[in-house]
């Protein structure tokens, strides 16, 4: 059994956690930055980086303290090294390097997406490779065939916005505040998902790619029509997203023979309607369904520690000059999705 210190700072959450290779979460600490970004209606990179600098050191100390361990007792230090906002990633990675150097511990540079991708295995030891993963976050919307640690085959991606991004933009358009996902989910509870006719972009196309930009524009038109309740637009938007996710994932199941489970991870996986629809889809296809607990879906350091643990168990560590990577695809061989713009 080994103890791993995990550090996360790629977007707007500063986080530190201590976990062990037996899946015990000894501590997990999180400092959100919502208040700092709220006036701008989105994450401001420079504000984020400065907030990480202020929050990280005390958070690491608190995580070690709560776990009841010293830095000397830690076996490896795992930090997000990308993809993400470069300023924030550098704060976490440099801190991890300094701790690794000072305490003479191995450094593990973690791909944030791998943190999400493996998080369901931290939550549940029963989940084995290979599995079909729907990774839905603020920056990504991908279907991946997960063969093992570091072994990903991307089956599909978004050609424009990510699903979480669509939630955030819809929340902004509807004046529901920031962060958008939970706000839209809450408003949708009071609305009729059939009230507003919205498109289901790419549904039915042979390759299971995603597109959400047109949906966002349709939300804008529905709002400007001035005849719909905000709650009805929110519920109809959410239903459209769910329909897209389910249609695309259903198609990917056909392209992923050998998958032992259907798995969802990333911030949007915290959405109850999304989870329930995917669970039904898994049942229909006689696949076990795995989704991490809600707190483990959105950004946190326990999942970074766990990705580090999985790599540590394989004897992996990284050099102290490992450079932060603002872009870092899980499947470097994946071709660009047809119709995709320049975004990763």
Site for ligand KG4 (CB under 6 A): which residue of 179, 193, 305, 308? Answer: 179
The option from Zn ion, ligand KG4, none interacting with 114 (CB < 5 to 8 A, set by class) reads: none
Nearest to 264 by CA among 146, 136, 167: 136
Residue whose CB is less far from Zn ion, 201 or 292 = 292
* Shortest reach from residue 212's CB to Zn ion, in Å: 17
168 binds ligand KG4 (CB under 6 A): yes
Token pair for 12: 């707007």
* Residue 141 to residue 156: CA distance in whole angstroms: 8
Token pair for 145: 């065939």
* Shortest reach from residue 283's CB to Zn ion, in Å: 27
Site for ligand KG4 (CB under 6 A): which residue of 88, 180, 191, 193? Answer: 180
The option from ligand KG4, Zn ion, none interacting with 168 (CB < 5 to 8 A, set by class) reads: ligand KG4
Angle, in degrees to the nearest 10, between helices 180-189 and 272-284: 80
Residue whose CB is less far from ligand KG4, 43 or 67 = 43
* Shortest reach from residue 270's CB to ligand KG4, in Å: 4
CB contact at 8 A, 127 and 120: yes
How are the residues of the chain apportioned to helix, strand and coil, as percentages rounded to the nearest 5? 45, 20, 35
* Shortest reach from residue 3's CB to ligand KG4, in Å: 25
8 binds Zn ion (CB under 5 A): no
Residues in contact with ligand KG4, counted by CB under 6 A, come to a total of: 20
181 binds ligand KG4 (CB under 6 A): yes
Dihedral over alpha carbons 221, 226, 230, 232 (to 10 degrees): -80
110 binds ligand KG4 (CB under 6 A): no
Residues in contact with Zn ion, counted by CB under 5 A, come to a total of: 2
* Residue 92 to residue 31: CA distance in whole angstroms: 13
Subset of 305-324 contacting Zn ion (CB under 5 A): none
Q: Which x/- pattern over 133-152 shows residues binding Zn ion (rule: CB under 5 A)?
A: ----x---------------
Please tell me whether residue 36 adopts helix, strand or coil conformation.
Answer: helix
* Shortest reach from residue 143's CB to ligand KG4, in Å: 16
Q: Is the dihedral of CA 145, 84, 335, 78 positive or negative?
A: negative
Site for ligand KG4 (CB under 6 A): which residue of 21, 298, 302, 310? Answer: 298
Please tell me whether residue 76 adopts helix, strand or coil conformation.
Answer: strand
Subset of 218-277 contacting ligand KG4 (CB under 6 A): 266-268, 270-271
Q: Which residues pair with 136 in a beta bridge?
A: 141
11 binds ligand KG4 (CB under 6 A): yes
Residue whose CB is less far from ligand KG4, 114 or 185 = 185
* Shortest reach from residue 192's CB to Zn ion, in Å: 31
299 binds Zn ion (CB under 5 A): yes
The option from ligand KG4, Zn ion, none interacting with 211 (CB < 5 to 8 A, set by class) reads: none
* Shortest reach from residue 106's CB to ligand KG4, in Å: 25
* Residue 195 to residue 133: CA distance in whole angstroms: 31
| Burial of residue 224, with CB atoms counted within 10 A of its CB: 0-12 exposed, 13-18 middle, 19 or more buried | exposed
Residue that has been written with the tokens 């289901």 in this structure:
200
Site for ligand KG4 (CB under 6 A): which residue of 8, 114, 299, 318? Answer: 299
DSSP one-letter code for 255: T
* Residue 58 to residue 55: CA distance in whole angstroms: 6
Token pair for 129: 């490779």
Token pair for 99: 């701790």
Q: Which helix (H) or strand (E) holds 148?
A: strand 141-148
> Given the rule CB under 6 A, which residues bind ligand KG4?
11, 137-139, 164-165, 167-168, 179-182, 185, 266-268, 270-271, 298-299
The contact set with Zn ion (CB under 5 A) reads 137, 299
């Amino acid at each position: 059994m080994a103890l791993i210190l995990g550090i996360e700072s790629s977007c707007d959450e500063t986080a530190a956690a201590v976990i062990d290779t037996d899946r015990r979460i000894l501590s997990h600490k999180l400092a959100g930055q919502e208040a700092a970004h709220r006036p701008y209606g989105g994450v401001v990179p420079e504000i984020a980086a400065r907030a990480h600098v202020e929050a990280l050191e005390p958070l690491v100390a608190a995580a070690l303290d709560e776990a009841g361990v010293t830095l000397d007792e830690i076996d490896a230090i795992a930090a997000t090294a990308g993809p993400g906002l470069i300023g924030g990633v550098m704060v976490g990675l440099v801190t991890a390097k300094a701790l690794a150097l000072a305490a003479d511990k191995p450094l593990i540079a973690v791909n944030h997406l791998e943190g999400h991708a493996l998080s369901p295995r931290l939550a549940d030891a029963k989940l084995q490779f290979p599995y079909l993963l729907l990774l839905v976050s603020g920056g990504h919307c991908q279907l991946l065939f997960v063969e093992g640690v570091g072994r990903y085959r991307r089956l599909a991606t978004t050609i424009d916005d990510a699903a979480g991004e669509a939630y955030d933009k819809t929340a902004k358009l509807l004046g529901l505040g920031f962060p958008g996902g939970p706000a839209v989910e809450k408003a949708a509870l009071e609305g009729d998902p059939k009230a507003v006719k919205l498109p289901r972009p790419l549904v039915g196309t042979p390759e299971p790619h995603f597109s959400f930009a047109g949906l966002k524009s349709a939300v804008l038109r529905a709002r400007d029509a001035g005849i719909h309740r905000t709650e009805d637009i929110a519920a109809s938007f959410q239903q459209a997203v769910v329909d897209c996710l389910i249609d695309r994932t259903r198609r990917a199941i056909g392209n992923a023979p050998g998958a032992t489970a259907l798995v969802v991870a990333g911030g949007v996986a915290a959405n109850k309607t999304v989870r329930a629809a995917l669970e039904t889809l898994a049942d229909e296809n006689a696949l076990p369904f795995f989704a991490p607990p809600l707190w483990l879906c959105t950004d946190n350091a326990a999942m970074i520690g766990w990705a580090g643990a999985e790599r540590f168990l394989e004897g992996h560590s990284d050099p102290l000059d490992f450079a932060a990577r603002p872009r870092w695809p899980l499947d470097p061989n994946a071709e660009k999705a047809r119709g995709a713009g320049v975004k990763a």
